[in-house]
Homo-oligomer: A and B are copies of this chain.
């Protein structure tokens, strides 16, 4: 039968501390909502498609997002 998993909590339990910017394929920025009061950032890695949580406060994470947003990403 179809497993239906309702996210009633934050999706991230721990965040990746090592700067993995160059392995990132895409990044999802999730705003605080009724289930989770923090902004969460989930990156999908290139080769494996693995999903990794990033710390929105970490300087290297802010740099990665800024680099993506600067046109010559």
- A20 in the interface (beta carbon within 8 A): no
Q: Mark A22-34, 1 if CB is under 8 A from B, else 0.
A: 0011111111110
| CB proximity of A9 to chain B, nearest CB, Å | 16
- With A and B bound together, what is the CA distance between A73 and B25 in angstroms? 24
Determine if B39 and A31 form an interchain contact, defined as CB atoms under 8 angstroms apart.
Answer: no
Residues of B within 8 A of A33 (CB): 25
Binding site for B on A (CB under 8 A): 24-33, 39, 56-57, 62, 65, 68-69, 71, 73
| Closest Cβ neighbor of A61 among chain B residues | B69
Residues of B within 8 A of A57 (CB): 71
| CB proximity of A39 to chain B, nearest CB, Å | 5
